[in-house]
């Protein structure tokens, strides 16, 4: 159980604030990662809206990059599929706009610095603000390199969300907490993203969650990297505010996409991540 009082996002958007404010004491916030344009450009908006109805509290929308060095093979694969189909940065903003027509689910863009630099820092943040992006996760931009984004982020009120790792010092964790807006992303296993065995995940978590809770005091904490089931999620996030699922979600799409009723089967998996295997109609959120 989360230690009280609950952290609230300091500079998070009102949409993000609402998610954490409305969180029930025994509830874990579920952030789902999906690569924009995977499995196809036409599916992304539908998937996001369906995820919201099936238990997702936050959407992390991946901006595909040719060389995603902080991600494992699964996310690299999904990025390659999206890029091969010609996905552009403006397509991603268009997707966010579409979602915003009917949904207030917080959307955080996750990606690598280079496509953003090419788009232009100011235009990028401006588009984020216009379309309703709630934050930005850039795994190849640690706090010491954030200076070039700070002004645009501040002006456009699109906060950066930083990561902490098991080997981050207490000082760094405090710095990350100070600079992050929305939540702090806690990397649970030393390693790149990818589905891992329960044991491996379990081992690394306990060592530093305590330190995280001591040092991250201004923002909620979500734990990610390696979660592939409800049991994983509950175990890993038991002392934090919630969890992130990425590779396991993409893998599940790969297994199901193209088969009959694939979306239904996929959403069943999504519900199981948040609510466990036992399904009742009450578990489906009504929007």
Partner 1 sequence: MQQTNEVAVPDTAYNFPSKNGYFGKFGGKFVPEILIPALDELERQYELASKDDSFKKERLHHLREYVGRPTPFTFCERLTAHYGTGRIYFKREDLCHTGAHKINNTIGQVLLAMRMGKKRIIAETGAGQHGVATATVCAKFGLECIVYMGAEDMKRQKLNVDRMRLLGADVRGVESGSKTLKDATNEAIRDWVTNVDDTFYIIGSVVGPHPYPKMVRDFHDVIGLETEAQCFETEGRDPDYILACVGGGSNAIGIFHRFIDKKHVKLIGLEAAGEGAETNKTAATFSKGKPGVLHGSLSYLLQTHQGQVELAHSISAGLDYPGVGPEHSHLFDTGRVAYRPVTDTEAMDAVKRCSMLEGIIPAIETAHAIAWLEKLMPQLSGDEIVVINCSGRGDKDMGTISDYFYGSNNK
Give whichever of 115 and 198 is closer to partner 1, judged by the CB atom. 115
Strand order in the sheet with 163-164: 135-137, 107-110, 58-62, 29-35, 242-245, 221-224, 184-187, 163-164
Q: Return the residues of window 240-279 that contact partner 1 according to CB under 8 A.
A: none
User: What DSSP state is assigned to residue 70?
Assistant: T
- Within a 13 Å sphere around the CA of 158, how many CA atoms are in the beta-carbon half? 27
Q: Return the residues of window 115-144 that contact partner 1 according to CB under 8 A.
A: 115-119, 139-142, 144
Residue 110 binds to partner 1 (criterion: CB under 8 A): no
Indicate if 241 belongs to the active site. Answer: no
Please work out, in degrees rounded to the nearest 5, the angle formed at the alpha carbon of residue 175 by the alpha carbons of 96 and 215: 100
Report d(CA 138, CA 117) in Å as an integer.
12
Q: Return the residues of window 35-54 that contact partner 1 according to CB under 8 A.
A: none
Binding segment toward partner 1, per CB under 8 A, in 33-41, 157-165, 246-254, 257-265:
157-165
Query: Which pair of structure tokens corresponds to residue 132?
Result: 């309703």
Identified binder of partner 1 from the candidate list 23, 191, 202, 254, rule CB under 8 A: 191
Query: Which pair of structure tokens corresponds to residue 24?
Result: 């029930």
Indicate if 60 belongs to the active site. Answer: yes
Nearest residue to 123 via CA among 89, 82, 99, 159: 89
Task: State the minimum distance, in angstroms, from the CB of residue 85 to partner 1.
Answer: 13
Q: Return the residues of window 50-89 that contact partner 1 according to CB under 8 A.
A: 65-70, 72-73, 76, 80, 83, 88-89
Q: Which active-site residues does the annotation give?
A: 60, 71
| Site residues for partner 1 per CB under 8 A | 65-70, 72-73, 76, 80, 83, 88-89, 112-119, 139-142, 144-145, 162-169, 172, 176, 187, 190-192
């Amino acid at each position: 159980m989360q230690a009280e009082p609950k952290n609230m996002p300091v500079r998070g958007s009102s949409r993000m604030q609402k998610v954490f404010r409305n969180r029930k004491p025994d509830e874990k916030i579920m952030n789902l990662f999906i690569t924009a344009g995977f499995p196809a450009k036409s599916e992304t908006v539908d998937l996001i809206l369906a995820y919201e109805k099936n238990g997702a509290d936050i959407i992390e929308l991946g901006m595909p990059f040719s060389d995603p060095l902080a991600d494992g093979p699964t996310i690299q694969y999904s990025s390659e599929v999206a890029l091969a189909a010609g996905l552009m940065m403006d397509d991603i903003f268009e997707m966010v706009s579409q979602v915003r027509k009917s949904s207030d689910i917080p959307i955080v863009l996750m990606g690598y610095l280079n496509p953003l630099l090419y788009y232009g820092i100011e235009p990028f943040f401006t588009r984020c603000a216009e379309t309703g992006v709630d934050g930005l996760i850039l795994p190849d931009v640690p706090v010491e390199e954030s200076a070039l984004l700070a002004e645009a982020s501040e002006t456009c009120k699109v906060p950066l969300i930083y990561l902490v790792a098991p080997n981050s010092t207490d000082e760094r964790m405090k710095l990350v907490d100070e600079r992050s807006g929305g939540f702090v992303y806690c990397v649970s296993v030393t390693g790149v993203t990818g589905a891992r065995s329960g044991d491996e995940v379990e081992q690394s978590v306990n060592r530093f969650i305590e330190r995280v809770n001591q040092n991250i005091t201004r923002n909620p904490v979500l734990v990610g990297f390696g979660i592939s089931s409800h049991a994983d999620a509950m175990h890993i996030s038991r002392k934090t505010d919630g969890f992130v699922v990425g590779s396991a979600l993409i893998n599940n799409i790969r297994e199901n996409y193209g088969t009959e009723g694939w979306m239904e089967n996929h959403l069943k998996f999504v519900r199981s991540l948040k609510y466990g295997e036992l399904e009742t109609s009450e578990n489906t959120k009504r929007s």
